[in-house]
Every structure is written in C-alpha cells, then in structure tokens.
C-alpha cells in the first residue's frame, strides 16, 4: 500500500484572489513580513499497488486527468510506502 500526497496550486502567472485576500488578512493581524500568499489544494490518495513506480504512474495520471486543470494549475506529489 502506498500513500500519495499531492499539492495543486495555481500557476504563478495566474492571479490568486483568494491568496491576496488571505495575505491582506495576515497583514491586518500585524504580520507585515509575510509576502505573496498562494492558496492551493492538498489531496491524499491510498493506492493498493504492488510497486512504487505503479503508484507514481497512477498518481500522475489522476492529477493530469482529474485533480489539476493543466491550463491553470501545477501539481507536485510524493509517494510513500505505508503499512
């Protein structure tokens, strides 16, 4: 069994209004050193695969086909063996 941890974020060239709103809220709390807040998604998948390579391939396919909008978003992931 493997667990995939996926992070999906808007590309740097795409405006992130939710991130800007959070950035302003953080500044209003007095944390003025915080810069460039970006909001994304974190997804975990449990994959019952015999190999890490297959789990990575499945994770990549799911990201491309469903979890990330390839026009606007980037994704990264890690795959770890779990008990």
Output the domain CATH number for residue 19: 3.30.1280.10
How far CA 36 is from CA of 21, 39, 73, 76, 79, in Å, comes to: 11, 10, 17, 19, 28
Q: How confident is the model at residue 83 (pLDDT cuts 50, 70, 90)?
A: confident
End-to-end CA distance of the chain: 6
Alpha helix locations (H) across the chain?
17-28, 52-62
Per-residue pLDDT tens over the stretch 18-75? 999 999 999 999 999 999 999 999 999 999 999 999 999 999 999 999 999 999 999 9
Please tell me the total count of domains within the chain.
Answer: 1
Range of the domain at 62: 2-81
pLDDT in the model for residue 66: 97
């Amino acid at each position: 069994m493997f667990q995939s941890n996926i992070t999906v974020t808007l590309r740097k060239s795409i405006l992130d209004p939710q991130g800007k709103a959070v950035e302003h809220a953080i500044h209003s709390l007095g944390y003025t050193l915080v810069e460039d807040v970006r909001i994304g998604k974190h997804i975990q998948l449990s994959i019952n695969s015999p190999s890490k390579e297959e789990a990575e391939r499945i994770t990549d396919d799911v990201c491309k086909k469903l979890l990330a909008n390839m026009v606007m978003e980037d994704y990264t992931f890690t795959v770890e063996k779990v008990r």
